[in-house]
Every structure is written in C-alpha cells, then in structure tokens.
Structure 1
Amino acid sequence: IGKRSYSLYLWHYPVIVLLHRHFVAGQIPSYVYVIDIVLMFLFAELSYRFIENPIRKKGFRAFSFKPTHVQHFVRLALVVILAIPSLLFLSGQFDALGKAHSDQKQTEFQNQTAKKPKAEPTPTPESSKVDAKQLSPLLIGDSVMVDIGNVFQKEVPNATIDGKVGRQLSEANALITSQYQSFAQPKKDVVMQLGTNGAFTED
C-alpha cells in the first residue's frame, strides 16, 4: 500500500464520485464501499505496474510509436486517450455546463416580509398553543435556510427569513446590526442556523 499510495490517492476520488452519483447521499449501501476499495486498488495496481514503474525505470523509452512494440505502443495509446479529455476539461470546454448548473441552483433566499417584528401573541390560560401564522420570528441561516425558506414561509407567513449559501456565524453580528436591529431585543424569536464548517469565537 505504501508503494502504491500515490496511485491510490489519484484514483480514490474519481472512483467515489462516479460510483456514488448513482445513489442518494446518506443512503449508500455498504456493498458500494467494498466496490470502492476494490476498484481503487485495481486501478492503482494497473497504473503502478504499467505506467508509473515503466516511466520511473525507462523514462520516455517506456513509450513507442511503433505498433510492433506492443506493450510500449499500448502504453502510449492509453496515455493519449487519458490526456485528451483532461486537456478538454483544463481548457474550459465544459465550463458552460457547470455555469448552467450553477445558474439553476438557488444561492439566496430573502422574503419580502417587513424587517420589523410584530407583537407576538400571548397564550391564554385556556390554551397554551400559539397559532404559527401569528408568529413573526427572524430566521438567519446558510444553505439549509435557502432550501427550507419557501416551505417555512407557508407555515409561518409573517416570518422574516434570510438565507445565503456558505454564510458563516461570524457574519451574523454585522447582518443583525445593519438590517435586523429591531429583533435584537429580549423576548424576540430569532433562529440562527449558521456555522457552515467554519470556526467561530464566543463573541
């Protein structure tokens, strides 16, 4: 494994990406991980034996344009076949497809509700339940808030919702100070759904 560690490093990511795309994230059957490992080691062994080692030992003499030198010629053909799509990707030939995907994906959600909280209903002794449609909380979040924004607003129409993909907790203070100061009071309902893989201080 030590000798083939670099080959394994190169192969593990494409194997995982191309195999796992056929399953729902978080619901991948355990046998798929076994297939991952088998394919990683198989491809790593092939590239180690037939590409890496020959190049280490022979350099450019490991390749040949002469079909009579079968092994050397096949090695050259494989490298060319792998190089062509790599060059196309690196030159940006498929960037438009990625841009189209990004354009379709919502990255922000901010509803049009007024940014001032309404008076919250007080439960009566007869009923401890509060009608969600009467509440007016502030919700600040990241990509999860973007995804649930429309659904939450249907249930709580007076909510003020502000979600943005990749938003960090460190951005919250400035956001509240600049836009939602009226919520920064005791007894106001504020939901913070932040911290996208980012560190933050107590402040």
Structure 2
Amino acid sequence: MAKAASQIEMPIGVVVRKTPGVTRWAQWNWRAVAVLPGAGPADWLEMRREGEAVEYHAATLPLTLWSDEAEAYMVNLSDGQPSIYLVLRDALDGTQPMDAVLVTASPFEGQDYADTGEELVEKIPMTDGLIAWVRDFALEHHRNEVFVKRRRDKKRTDLVEDGKGDVRIRQDSDVFRAPRRIVQ
C-alpha cells in the first residue's frame, strides 16, 4: 500500500475587482471575486472592464494542502460556502495596486493573517472541482482525536500549613524569613 503524500499543490489564479470607492477616504474598493484553478502565470492582467469597474487576474499562487491541516479543511468544507482565503498587502514599490501574498483553504490560517491588521484577507467561494479536490485530500488525511477526560488527583489542596511555604521544598524553618546578610 502506497503512503499518501503529506502535501499537494495546485496553482490558483485569483480575480480581483476594482470599483470606485463609496466614501471620500477610499478612492477604490478592492474585492476578490473568483478563483481560477490551474491557471497560468499572471500579474495584474486586465480581464474585463465595465465603466469604472475593472476585473484583474491579479496573480497565480500555489494552493498547498498539508496533511496536518486536514481538520481545518474539514471545518472549511462544513461551512455553508466553502472558500479560499486570499491575503493581499499594499504594494510597496507602486508598480502594482496590491501584492497577492497567499491563498489558503484553511480558515484558521486566514484568520491568523486577518488578526494582524496589516493584510486584507478576502474570502472567495470555491468552485465545485476545487471543493472535491480539497475534500478528497482532507478525508484521506483527517484523523479523529480521541477525547480523554482529565482526572483529578486525590491530593487535598484545601489544607493550610502556615509558615511552611511550598510543601515540595524541604525546609525546617520559616520560608518567609528575611534573607541572611552575606559578609564579604
């Protein structure tokens, strides 16, 4: 019997839509709208324009599934709409509107990036073929953890011994005494 691969990878193209901002503080509104499984390389390639709204094939990034993250993938698949999480950062060089950093199928990893506040994390619905691919990998690697109830020891912790301090430390005298003066 062959051992299953601990990780698999697929190139994922991400489509980002730019629309005019609705407030004076944000000139543009950026939203990830679609994924393109198995897409070729792209770097902010304009796909479609409708008035001021423009859709770009922003980037093609590798979607890597790890066997250790199988539980996270199962959580994602059990959601009403399984999704891919895209992490975007402000471009520092100014040649591109934003830098597409990462795509992941793990909602936990997406949440970690969202917690920093440095990046924009967009949730993009998975295609049916992508759902099947992630589901097959997750089912192959998912292991249920057996719940083990913790048992308390029988040691009584409500007993008080004044002046003894920690009972694990062997000391005959009071542990709260003043330290001895060291003669030099």
Normalising by structure 2, we get a TM-score of: 0.23
Higher strand share: 2
Higher helix share: 1
Question: Looking at both structures, which has the greater relative contact order when contacts are Cα pairs under 8 Å and sequence separation is at least 6?
Answer: 2
